[in-house]
Chains A and B, each alone.
Chain A
């Protein structure tokens, strides 16, 4: 199967309906899925047993979104520890679905009962995860890695 045809069944928890249909925060389930998987990874909420369900995630949804591809590759690699995961869409989708199931459960616990202020609640939650100082430090580290690569690639 070519990578563009890779697909993964995923569990569509009730939080999807709340955040996508009820509160219009996410325009579609794909964005909600990536957000849930990222939250799941960050909160170490991972469900390897009950992560498949009604939803289906296609790799083609990711293929044109560089940020999504970077996130999926990094999460899959960090989870498996196998560099091959960086090139394997099936592994990336599967790992993402497992973290998405855990992340959706976390979001349900945190925001499931919230009615009117989901947007601001999510914003506060995101902001609480990254202080300006932390961002500066993170940026510096990333910058160094990029420069290190840059120098080795373009120097004789």
Chain B
């Protein structure tokens, strides 16, 4: 409920005050003024003080009163001020906005902004005056900025609202009114959240955990099978080796074959020994590579570095003084000079080296240089020895290899001889001997035994190769299993994240769907409530043939009551304006109802709002003005109307007059201000004589 509006230096008002009627039976305040007298400025004063906004006003930058600006000296300041007093929640509020401008030169009527203030004060129940910490936000809580357009408006807004192309205003108004935009934002946000979790789910669930686990199980099974195979092959090999040994013993029982077999056994033992030696030589070669193999590659770097150091020494950049510790090191057994020359104890050279112990301590660089140089001999020797030893070992290994090859040939020859000899077997002691795939009772000659032996040896060699291949494959599988284990751990972690994302996404979706359903129902509910009030008001005063309705698409339409079809715009301008006012009235009504009901159940707390209208009759004909006049007092608990004299003619004055609690005249003087500037005075009129048409 607005109580008082005070204007100072605001546009053409130097110092004006309007007290609004708060009488419930005479709830209308009428402000009379001719065109250009300042009616629209008063409407703008409401918007400016509350929201720092102006509409439909010429030269909005010229806020300061021109007379005040003209009277001000250059460099001095003029303060523009609007104050609105109103009651909200039974508390008296004072909202004040000030803007101070500084005059720059004699022709400056705008001024440069130097200060602005916005304050809100309210008197608490205990009589204390308090200020909210954020006054702008506080005001917007009382009346949302967007709603202000519905409650402070000019005649053209009414025409716009009823126009067929402006139906968005209707829906927007309802949504704003009931806080539905909050739900919409929540729905949009939930949709975004859902999309975010869907993306997380897609990203996290990209690896197929199941596929990895299946692969791991398959590989583990394959590994187990191979290990079992290797074990089997080892057992087979061991058995075959025992059988070969048994055959060897059987062959040794024979007369002529015995000697050959014994020889073969000797050769096989010798070959085994040589193979062990060859393995040792290979180990030696590997040690050589590990310990000194690198020298070949760094010798040039060492030689070049030593050359540079020698050059630095020659240039005197490295002093020749020696560290005592280093001299001691050289003299330690076996004593050797830097160049590698032996330093026999007591010899002339040893004495010379010893004499170079000094009190001077060499720097780190000197020490590093000396250390490198001192090892040159050792490095050179190690390098030479490396190649000598490699040559020696490789040669030995070659000789051994040749010997192994020769022995293997002999062994092979013996086998052939035994087989060719084919010594008959008459009395063979086979007690306790069992050889697979060989019926010992059926063996007739040494050739049979030798053939069996050769076959088993061949199988053993084949098994050795198979086992090596299997072992390599097992190693490969183990590596893959290890890798899979890591991938599975990673995929499981991602799976957990994916599960969480899925649950969150489903949660967001469920809430969004619920909210959408609720939004739809709530919106329709509000529409029906508004619709009911609009039609009540409309049907009371408008043509009975028509019906005003807010469609389910939120269009404010005028329908033919009998046929339910839309009425053409040209045929229903007056009715549309009535419908628009009825609609605004319905919103004020709903806001009040909302305010007085349980506030916790809705998003908008509502309020008791006045309606401030500038020239609400527009270009309506007399008949429709009369009808609109019937509507206006019912639109809100408090109505402020700004009219020209011609608009206040009957039937308007007749209809509204009894409901008017206060009249004001705007007395405009085009050049009555300072230096001939325009000025408007506001005069309260106790009872204005009604002008009749």
Contacts and interface: CB of A to CB of B under 8 A. Distances in A.
B289 A135 contact: no
B303 interface: yes
Contacts of A26: 286, 289-290
A113 B12 CA distance: 96
A147 B339 contact: yes
Interface residues of A, number: 50
A41 B300 CA distance: 10
Contacts of B147: none
Contact of B379 (A42, A75, A142): A142
A49 interface: no
Nearest to B340: A146
A122 B289 CA distance: 8
Nearest to B394: A123
Given A83-B365, A154-B356, A142 B380 contact: yes
Contacts of A150: 337-339, 341
B375 interface: yes
Interface string B167-209: 0000000000000000000000000000000000000000000
A32 B313 CA distance: 34
Interface string A132-150: 1001001101110111111
Contact of B373 (A35, A41, A149): A149
B382 A67 contact: yes
A31 interface: yes
A147 B394 CA distance: 34
B303 A35 contact: no
A123 B380 contact: no
Interface in A19-78: 24-27, 31-32, 34-35, 37-39, 41-42, 66-67, 69-71, 73-75, 77-78
A122 to B, nearest CB: 6
A130 B384 CA distance: 11
Nearest to B367: A87
Nearest to B373: A149
Interface residues of B, number: 60
B477 interface: no
A150 B377 CA distance: 12
A76 to B, nearest CB: 9
Nearest to A155: B352
A122 B364 CA distance: 37
A70 B300 contact: no
A26 B300 CA distance: 23
28 contacts: A24-B286, A25-B289, A26-B286, A26-B290, A38-B295, A41-B301, A70-B302, A73-B305, A73-B368, A74-B372, A75-B301, A78-B301, A83-B309, A83-B365, A86-B368, A86-B369, A87-B365, A119-B286, A130-B387, A143-B340, A143-B380, A145-B307, A145-B373, A146-B376, A146-B377, A148-B310, A152-B313, A152-B314
Interface of A: 24-27, 31-32, 34-35, 37-39, 41-42, 66-67, 69-71, 73-75, 77-78, 83-84, 86-87, 119, 122-123, 126-127, 129-130, 132, 135, 138-139, 141-143, 145-150, 152-154
The 8 closest A-B pairs by CB, nearest first: A42-B297, A38-B297, A38-B294, A86-B368, A150-B339, A74-B301, A74-B305, A87-B364
